Amino acid sequence: MLSRFRTAYGLLLAPLARLLLKAGASPTAVTVAGTVAVVLSALLLFPGDHLVAGSVACGLFLLADGLDGTMARLGNRETKFGAFLDSTLDRVADGAIFVGLAAWGIGRSPLVSWLAMLSLVAGFIVSYARARAEAEGWNVSVGLFERTDRLVVALAAALIAGFGAGESALVVGLAVVLAGSVVTTGQRIAAARRASLPPREPERPSSSLL
């Protein structure tokens, strides 16, 4: 849903990307540093009931998630390994956020813990479905809830919960993430099914006898 804003988002990051390149920073270093920052923020702040601080910190570091890619494009440093590392560490960051929210629920709300863990698994299935389809040469980049959508909804729910809404905000937000992920998985399976079918032969016009 939010992927349509990716181009504009990349343009906003361009000045900072150029500055970091001039300073000698590499896209790989930015990828690793951003992931470490998200993991530490999520696993230290969320379990300690610092939902507002955790949401803001994770949100800020995730805003820089596209910075490494922008740096790679501007500096002509795009590599297959860089794309692989970025995608792999994205899963690490996602896992830390949902595990942190699940840890918040321990002793406070078992429902939040369950929804957070189920959302994590469902999100991983969405990503795996795309990766596996691409390995077969199929394009299934479709779906209601992509990674950005899942993280925005989850962090927004945590932020609202931290401002006083409590458990109910997290239950609603994580339920939306879970449902959206399930729907997206179904959409990608359907897209893979269509892509796997042999192309239909064009119908030949019937000849009429004169």
The residue with tokens 């595990």 is 99
DSSP state of 4: G
Q: How far apart are CA 34 and CA 97, in angstroms?
A: 13
Q: Give φ, ψ of 148 to 5 degrees.
A: -60, -40
Let me know: does 92 contact 39? Beta carbons within 8 Å: yes
Residues 59 and 155 sit within 8 Å (Cβ to Cβ): yes
For this structure, is 94 an active site residue? Answer: no
What's at 29, amino acid-wise?
A
Q: Which of 65, 68, 86, 90 is catalytic?
A: 90
The residues assigned a catalytic role are: 90
